[in-house]
Structure 1
Amino acid sequence: MDGTSDGAYTVSAEFYDLLQAETDRRRARRWFAEAARGARHGILDIGAGTGIVTEVLLDAGTAPVHAVEPSAAMRTGLLTRVAALGADRRARLTLHPEPVEAAGLHEVADLAVASNVIACLSPAVRRAVWPAVRRALVPGGLLLFAPPPADLPSGCGGGGRLGPVRVGPDLYSARITRARDRGVVRVVFTYRCERDGRVLREEREVFRMWPAGARQIGAELEAGGLHVVQAPGPDLMAAYRPSR
């Protein structure tokens, strides 16, 4: 079977946790766990995916968590993960199945996080996200997020691999390629399942990332009512909602 999807996670959702969960979990703990421990009002998880970051936030702190995930395919994984959590953690989670700019959230959190999502937003959508986050934060609330790439890749831009991971007799893996494509970065995930050296399945999903440098993102944040501050790590940007 050889299938292709375009950015809806309908292909990637099947393979996501198997190939990426452990890396995402370690990164979420490094990026967000300390801030989550200090949250008291609530935490907003933007682009919650299959719930890996959501679970880290629930484990690290005691505040309610609002998980925003518009992809039905990824929400399936998120709810499967939530089903295995204890009742106390499930009671602190609210799932929002629409984009954050359409969720209508108002002062529900003193911490907002976004791990793998901002790069995949078009500039127009990204500019709509910042004021939505401001509305969702209480005054003084903090936003932490992974910024998009600053520039387009040169040439094909290289790529990488995920896995392989063995499940019984089968090996699962993914090849990632990145290339310039009319002003954006075209990222192709090619997933493969092999048994005894024979390819059983190969499927692809294409995503697009919109580059933007720190100065541009900073200007957008300020225009959206958020003030840029020093991030706790080199891989993140940070901003907060001013009290006035």
Structure 2
Amino acid sequence: MGREPGSYEVSAEFYDLLQAEDDRRRAERRFGHAARRATRGVLDVGAGSGIVTQVLLAASAVPVHAVEPSPAMRSLLLSRLAATRADRRARVTVHPHPLQEAGLEQVADLAVASNVVACLDPTTRREFWKHVGTALTPGGLLLFDPPPAAPPAAREHVGTLGPVRVGPDHYYAELHQGPGDGTVRTEFAYRVEREGRVLRREHETFELWPAAPALIAEELALAGLRPIRWSRSDLVAARRD
């Protein structure tokens, strides 16, 4: 049986090595202040390798619910929690299912969805808002980065990760995005080099579903979530009514 597209079975190997430090600084900047103000609980939807979860645990003093359905990424999350202080680890619950199957009701006054919403097809995205609203207490805050407004016109190179050195080897990733079938196709091409010679190449593709800001705002309102900020960094804040 082949790998499912976007399952992270390829990317999990390279994720922390190439992205962890930048992701941690970004998470601290985006979510640290809100986590420090949480009084009931924090929900981390799509916890991934656990970097955001660790930031939320360090900044808060409340229970944290980490939702991560991907086995590949959840193994990184649990490894990271294993190296976390015992008192912080005691405050986190790992949910190995999608949010709609977690059965969480009014457990948090802060929900964070980092790099999640764009990965949801329109039907799943509309359901997602409802389940976030159910998990939040009245007046609770949701922070998320929205999907791209539209697909790019053509395939384009959007960045390079690395090189990161491990002994004699150098690790890289090239990122490309292009139009799919109503989606944005994001491709990660990984390679490992030693003394200028390519030892390995790996590849994984993810589909992102674009949506205009007006559509996202409409979907949020239907789920009882009121947008209160759309920042220059594209971090959206919404409150549960």
TM more than 0.5: yes
Residue matched to 2:153: 154
Aligned to 1:30: 29
Q: Does 1:176 align with 2:153?
A: no
Equivalent residue number for residue 64 of structure 2: 65
CA–CA distance in 2 between the matches of 1:60 and 1:153?
37
SS at match of 2:177: strand
What residue ranges of structure 2 are gaps of 5+ in the alignment? none
Instruction: Tell me how far 1:197 sits from its aligned partner.
Output: 1.1
Please tell me whether residue 95 in structure 1 is matched to residue 113 in structure 2: no
State the secondary structure of the residue aligned to 1:166.
strand
Task: Answer yes or no: is the 8 Å Cα contact 2:3–2:9 preserved in 1.
Answer: no
Query: Normalized against structure 1, the TM-score is what?
Result: 0.95
Instruction: Summarize the Cα distance change of 1:97–1:8 in structure 2 as closer, same or farther, 3 Å threshold.
Output: same
CA positional deviation for 1:234: 3.4
Structure 1 partner of 2:107: 108
- Once the two structures are aligned, what percentage of the paired residues are identical? 59
Secondary structure class of the residue paired with 2:76: helix
2: CA distance between counterparts of 1:71 and 1:81? 15
**How big is the shift at 1:158?**
3.0
What is the correspondence of 1:1-244 to structure 2 with a 5 Å cutoff? 6-231=5-230, 234-242=233-241
RMSD: 1.3
Shift of 1:233: 5.7
Query: Contact (CA 8 Å) 1:157, 1:180: kept in 2 or not?
Result: no
Instruction: Tell me how far apart the structure 1 counterparts of residues 231 and 86 of structure 2 sit (CA, whole Å).
Output: 32
Q: CA deviation at 1:119?
A: 0.7
Alpha-carbon distance between aligned partners in 2 of 1:186 and 1:159, rounded to the nearest angstrom: 12
* 1:166-198 Cα distance to aligned partner (Å, 9 max, x none): 000000110111110111111110111111111
Moved runs in structure 1, 4+ residues, more than 4 A? none
Offset from partner CA, 1:12-39 (integer Å, 9 cap, x none) = 0010000011111111111100000000
* TM-score for the superposition, normalised by structure 2: 0.97
Indicate conservation of the 8 Å contact 1:4/1:205, yes or no: no
Kindly indicate whether the alpha-carbon contact (under 8 Å) linking 2:46 and 2:66 is maintained by their aligned counterparts in 1. Answer: yes
Greater RCO structure (CA 8 Å; 6+ sep): 1
Question: How far does the alpha carbon of each residue in 1:62-100 deviate from its partner, in whole angstroms, 9 at most, with x for none?
Answer: 111100000000000000000001110000100001111
> Could you tell me whether the CA contact under 8 Å between 2:39 and 2:109 is conserved in 1?
yes
8 Å CA contact retained: 2:178, 2:186: yes
Q: Tell me if structure 1 keeps the 8 A contact 2:53–2:66.
A: yes
Cα offset for 1:235?
Answer: 2.1
Contact 1:5 1:11 in 2 (8 A): no
Aligned residues: 240
